[in-house]
């Protein structure tokens, strides 16, 4: 912007108009600061909250592998103040002797600074019990299936027993001992998954819409398959029934009923935590429980978690990973290319959120713009 000044020191009228125009431009810039702050900040806050929640979940899984106490900090609110400021001045000068004027250049700069305030709230008391210690209900299992997760993955993570058949339950506690029983359970859920993939198995709510039971329908065309015969034999079910009732319970089921015992989020985290690749240094130091068979050989938990989840460890901070956390001297991470592990972590996080019920409040983001 060029401002002309006459020899007598008085600003020309045109210069005054230029200054006014410059001030108007500054005010206009302030007026659009709100939308600009929203455009620049919303995606960043969204990504930061999501990433740190995944990292917190991963950290607690690692902690539990080391029999350390899980601890959850929830974000209750984010208040971000955006303050705008500006500078103005006159710089340089040129002379026009014929017109008797001296020209100066008016300069204005607009800047803003963001000052966020984040409020954390530890998860404890009833909220802790509800979100971590309460067993998963049947409606949650159904919602996960209807949302696209594989039936066998849902059962492997959140179901501890089906018609009396255990699912590596020694790994779903703080002191796993011995070799876990899991092969028969794995055969059951794999058979269910294969029947479902053929379009012959459906999971649905009962006609009475009871919250405590579901229905499994196996279509007639599947009843000649090898998977169906294995499914019926392992669960001791009536082969001539098309609809089987799923309910929660402690008995062994059979006939027309499939009785399952679900896990809590905490037990599910203990279970997937057995997939953590523990550094040899920590094994030698006795920092973790190691399952051994009758011959004293360590049990390989990859047999249980194959295709489900794998958490790696490294002395150095890993790069280009989905999530990484530091615990003690080592880094623990999930590879970005490991789709199965990412899906399992996402599924656990969603169930954790669902278990929050109606009492927990989502983070409130307030951005006043000055």
Three-state DSSP string of the chain: CEEEEECCCCECHHHHHHHHHHHHHHHHHHHCHHHHHHHHHHHHHHHHHHHHHHHHHHHHHHHHHCCCCCCCEEEEEEEEEEEEEEEEEEEEEEEECCCCEEEEEEEEEEEEEEEEEEEEEECCHHHHHHHHHCECCHHHHHHHHHCCCCHHHHHHHHEEEECCEECCHHHHCCCCCCCCCCHHHHHHHHHHHHHHHCCCEEEEECCCCCCCEEEEEECHHHCCCHHHHHHHHHHCECCCCCEEEEEECCCCCEECEEEEEECEHHHHHHHHHCCECCCHHHHHCCCCCCCECCCCCECCCHHHHCCCCCEEEECCCCCCEEEEEEECCEEEEEECCCHHHHHHHHHHHHHHHHCCCCCCCCCEEECCEC
229 lies in the same domain as 142:
yes
Are 256 and 300 contained in the same domain? no
Least confident interval from 81-85, 231-235, 264-268: 81-85
Q: Measure the CA–CA gap between 116 and 44, rounded to whole angstroms.
A: 13
- What tens digit of pLDDT does each residue of 133-181 get? 889 999 999 999 999 999 999 999 999 999 999 999 988 877 777 789 9
284 found inside a domain = yes
**Please, are residues 322 and 338 in contact by the beta-carbon 8 Å criterion?**
yes
* Residue 321 belongs to some domain of the structure: yes
- Is the model's pLDDT at 129 over the cut of 80? no
Q: Last residue of some domain: 229, 263, 297?
A: 263
Domain containing residue 242: 137-263
Indicate whether 109 belongs to any domain.
no
- Per-residue CA distances from 277 to 211, 271, 300 (Å): 38, 14, 10
322 token code pair:
């989905």
Specify whether 272 is located in the same domain as 334: yes
Domain assignment present for 249? yes
- Residue-level pLDDT at 294: 81
Among 213, 242, 263, which residue terminates a domain? Answer: 263
279 shares its domain with 240 = no
Distance CA 312, CA 334 (A): 6
Lowest mean pLDDT among 9-13, 63-67, 171-175, 308-312: 9-13
| Final residue in a domain of this structure, among 263, 282, 310 | 263
pLDDT: which is higher, 96 or 135: 135
| Residue bearing the bigger pLDDT, 73 or 260 | 260
Q: Please check whether residues 281 and 168 belong to one and the same domain.
A: no
Is 225 a member of any domain?
yes
Question: According to the model, what pLDDT value does residue 92 have?
Answer: 56
Whether 318 has a pLDDT exceeding 70, the answer reads yes
CB 80 within 8 A of CB 115: yes
Other Cβ atoms less than 10 A from the Cβ of 4: the count is 18
pLDDT at residue 7, rounded to an integer:
47
Q: Are residues 251 and 274 part of one domain? A: no
Question: How far is it, in rounded angstroms, from Cα 80 to Cα 85?
Answer: 16
The domain total for the chain is 2
pLDDT band at 2 (very low <50, low <70, confident <90, very high): very low
In a domain, 108, yes or no: no
Beta bridge partners of 220: none
Q: What is the pLDDT of residues 9-56, one digit of tens each?
A: 444 555 454 444 444 444 444 455 667 667 767 788 888 888 999 999
What's the pTM? Answer: 0.79
Are residues 250 and 276 both part of a single domain? no
- Token pair, residue 252, equals 């062994």
Rounded CA-CA distance 101/8 in Å is 9
Instruction: Tell me: do 278 and 322 sit in the same domain.
Output: yes
Q: Which of 204, 181, 187 is nearest to 152 (CA)?
A: 187
Question: For position 125, what pLDDT does the model report?
Answer: 75
**CB neighbours of residue 31 within 10 Å:** 11
- Order of strands across the sheet that contains 364-366: 2-6, 101-122, 73-96, 364-366
pLDDT at 57 > cutoff 80: yes
For the chain, what's the residue count? 370
Distance CA 11, CA 292 (A): 91
- The mean predicted confidence, pLDDT, of the chain is 82
Q: What pLDDT shows up at residue 353?
A: 84
Return the closest-CA partner of residue 348 out of 140, 124, 139, 76: 140
Which pLDDT score is estimated for 254? 93
Asked if residue 352 is part of any domain, the answer here is no
Based on the fold, state whether residues 193 and 258 are members of the same structural domain.
yes
pLDDT for residue 205 is more than 80: yes
Tell me, rounded to whole angstroms, the distance of Cα 42 from its chain centroid. Answer: 18
Residues 169 and 230 in one domain: yes
**Are 245 and 286 found together in one domain?**
no
User: Is the same domain home to 225 and 149?
Assistant: yes
Per-residue pLDDT, 364: 56
């Amino acid at each position: 912007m060029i401002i002309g000044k006459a020899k007598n020191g008085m600003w020309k009228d045109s210069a005054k108009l230029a200054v006014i125009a410059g001030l108007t431009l500054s005010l206009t810039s302030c007026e659009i600061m709100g939308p600009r702050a929203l455009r620049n900040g919303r995606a960043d806050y969204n990504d930061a909250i999501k990433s740190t929640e995944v990292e917190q979940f991963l950290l607690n899984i690692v902690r539990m592998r080391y029999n350390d106490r899980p601890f959850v900090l929830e974000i209750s609110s984010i208040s971000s103040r955006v303050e705008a400021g500006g500078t103005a001045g006159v710089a340089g000068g040129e002379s026009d002797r014929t017109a008797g004027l001296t020209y100066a250049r008016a300069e204005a700069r607009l800047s803003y600074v963001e000052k966020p305030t984040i409020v954390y709230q530890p998860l404890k008391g009833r909220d802790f019990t509800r979100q971590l210690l309460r067993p998963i209900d049947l409606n949650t299992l159904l919602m996960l299936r209807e949302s696209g997760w594989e039936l066998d993955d849902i059962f492997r993570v959140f179901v501890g027993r089906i018609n009396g058949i255990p699912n590596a339950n020694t790994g779903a506690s703080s002191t796993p001992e011995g070799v876990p029983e899991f092969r028969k359970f794995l055969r059951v859920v794999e058979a269910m998954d294969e029947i479902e993939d053929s379009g012959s198995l459906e999971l649905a709510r009962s006609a009475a819409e009871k919250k405590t039971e579901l229905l499994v329908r196996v279509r007639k065309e599947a009843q000649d398959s090898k998977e169906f015969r294995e499914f019926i034999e392992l669960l001791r079910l009536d082969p001539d029934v098309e609809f089987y009732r799923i309910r929660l319970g402690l008995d062994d089921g059979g006939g027309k009923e499939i009785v399952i015992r679900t896990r809590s989020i905490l037990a599910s985290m203990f279970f997937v935590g057995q997939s953590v690749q523990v550094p040899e240094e920590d094994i030698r130091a006795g920092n973790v429980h190691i399952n051994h068979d009758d011959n004293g050989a360590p049990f390989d938990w990859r047999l249980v978690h194959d295709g489900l989840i794998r958490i790696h460890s490294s002395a150095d901070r890993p790069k280009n990973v989905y999530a990484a956390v530091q615990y003690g001297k080592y880094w623990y991470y999930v590879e970005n290319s490991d789709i199965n592990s990412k899906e399992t972590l996402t599924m656990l996080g969603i169930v954790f959120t669902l278990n929050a019920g109606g009492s927990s409040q989502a983070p409130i983001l307030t951005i006043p713009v000055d």
